[in-house]
Structure 1
Amino acid sequence: MVRQAVILTAGLSTRTYPLTVRKPKPLLKLANTPNLMHLLRGLAAAGVQEVVLVVGFERQQVERAIGHRFAGLTVHYAVQEQALGTGHAVLQAAPFLEREAPFAVLNGDDLILPDALAACLSQVPALLVAPHHQPHRFGVVEVVDGFVRAVREKPKEAPPGALVSTGAWTLPHEALQWLQHLPPAEDGEIRLPDITPQLMAHGLHAVVTEDGWVPLTYPWDVLVATHHLLTLWGTERVAQLLPAPAINGFVHPTAEVHGDVFIAPTARVEARSKVIGPAVIGEGSVIGANCDIVRTVIGDRCHIGDGAHLEDCVLMDQVQVGEDAELAWSVLGDRVVIGHGARAFAKLPSGITVRSVVRGQLVDTAMEQLGCIVGDGARIGDGCVLYPGVKVWVDRVVLPRTEVLEDVR
């Protein structure tokens, strides 16, 4: 039985900018809960008793959010001062790991459902693998009779749906010795996947999950992962992760609530508004009159102005949306302000997927609908129009009635 797990949370996560300029990616909220908490609850349900969080960037935020006990787990912290690779990160956790005992290693970035975690932890050594529509972004795994036979790193010719590595492993204790003796790569990094040959020699199990893993590589993946969780709402697969649908807050007698919806006890939905699930409305949030909230997650202490329309959006905490604003398929960071009548278009001509710039490169999002991604503290003026896939960086101010055709940095 695997009693201990190492979760890698130290990275800078520049590909998810602007959402992670000031926040570690594992603390991004999915369905109003930091993803790291989803992982910890899944590990606890699978029988893990101790976790080592390898921290680096903004480590104080992680420590404040999780503490030293969470979901029945004992939590330790190991610091990775320099970004020297995933293998190096695991070695920082070594002092907390039991001698001769196997352990698990996970990326703190990605959503992994509890059933997928439990399946992976049932075998040692093991690698959790999953089909992906863009396998060229990952290590593509060849599986024969349930075992890993080869891993090809980001091959261009891999067909959509090929099995890829999720970065979730169970390892024998000897893996620490293999990492200690592993020569660094040319860039100085020690990478965990570089001990795959030793693991295959010991019989590396390939544990396949069809839909139990959602990678959070880009900022729009917050929408993808949140939608996936909400699609499974009410099933045993996410029972440990999401509260049961419930209307606990105030709903005006003339307002309407349809489908699976969670409204926190201190939230309010005012007159003639409609909330169509799956949807979540967090603590202290207020939905003004005549609003439409459709398949949207609203964080804590948000205020949605009268007549606003939000569809397939994720709002973090303390967001203000002005009257008559219209947003679709958008992610708004903490303390974002959206002006009155502002609009975010999400759809290009039929069949054309939205592209967005990431680290200077134009990336195909593989999404036919994607609105805007707005970083913490940014302010969008009244009457602004934001075009599909644009991003607004933290604390930036967009003047009223501006057409935003490209990223605002």
Structure 2
Amino acid sequence: MSYTSIFGPVNNPWQRGFNSGGSSSGSAALVALRAARKAGLEGLDDLGPDVELAIGGDQAGSIRIPAAYCGIYGLKPTFGLIPYTGIAGLLPMIDHVGPLATNVEDIALLLTVLAGYDGLDPRMSPESPLREKVQQYHEELAAFGAQILQPKHPSASKPLLRVGLITESFQITGMSEEVAETVRSAAMKCFTAQGAEVSEVSIPMHALGATIWTAAVRNQMASHAFGGRATDLLTHDMPHLSPIWPSNQEFYDVLSRHNPAVVLTILGETLLADAMPLSAQRKAHRHVLELRAAYDDALRHYDVLVTPTTPTVAPPLPDMEDHPGPDPTAPGSVERMLRLAAGSTNNTSPFNATGHPGLSVPCGWAASPHGGYKLPVGMQIVGRRFDDLGVLKAAKLFELGGGKLGPRPA
């Protein structure tokens, strides 16, 4: 989340003291700062320059979650579409990099620039396009938008888009009723306004998606991400990084204060490596393939799938200090920090494991239970692997039907 930097927290541009998501916090906040200024939000003059475009990394939701919290667009592309070369990864199986922007056209433009096989990244596959074969996403999206604005033939009966709302995604632990209703009503209203067909689809395995992600990657993530462990495939490493591994006490003291999630990752790998044989991880990988097949089967009947990006709006930033009180059972700062992140990736991490593209689209506002502030809500659009253009088109159709962040309610 956005309180893990040793330099201090990254505030949400829409409400100081609130999370901007993570881990691509700064990227999202700088793009959202431009959106908030354009919307006329006061008190932002002294915050320095904003940006039109940014790039984020995403292993469990780290592009889409900050995009949702900050009310902007964020795309986790199909696995292997954009090379990850030159970026510090967590684990090759789930590493994704993608664009953040204030509108879908800029997402498409940056995707055109970034996508394509670079000859270095082993995450790319025979399905990855060569640079000269990359779709001109921005041009094709513009052509699609122009086509939609043309008068429709009255005898056309086939729906322009088939949208499936994943039932289980609206029922995950910690799901805010207001967030769920905001996403559901926006999808129903704005997609159907442009002739799309929207219905619910049950994918029972989605409820297990975050658990499958955990079992498939957690027993190797710490040594890869923080220990500098070499992968089993030839890669272009980052020689300027010098991991502190094995971790020393100073390392743990700094992380306990600023980023206990890293300590949790190290602890998780230690426990899983001792308790879970490699055969169990291989079994988890087979479950990933089963989960991928479940989404693929749904995508044979629907063009895109929709979920809430996050279960809640942005939570407040935590108090980073321990304040001993009369109640010895009260959670300390480490537990408070970890609780804020718990469950936030339940709708996003499954698609890191399966490799499907996912785009967080701003779709409205909901009240935070902390102070009653109105904060952005994100809707995730998921498509077939390597049909990132189809996801972008769905986002454009949603927008043309009236789907957007909209003015901030009083």
TM-score range, shorter chain: under 0.3
Larger relative contact order, structure 1 or 2 (CA cutoff 8 Å, min sep 6): 2
Instruction: From the two aligned structures, give the one with the greater helix fraction.
Output: 2
TM-score if structure 1 supplies the norm length? Answer: 0.26
Q: TM-score, normalised by structure 2?
A: 0.26
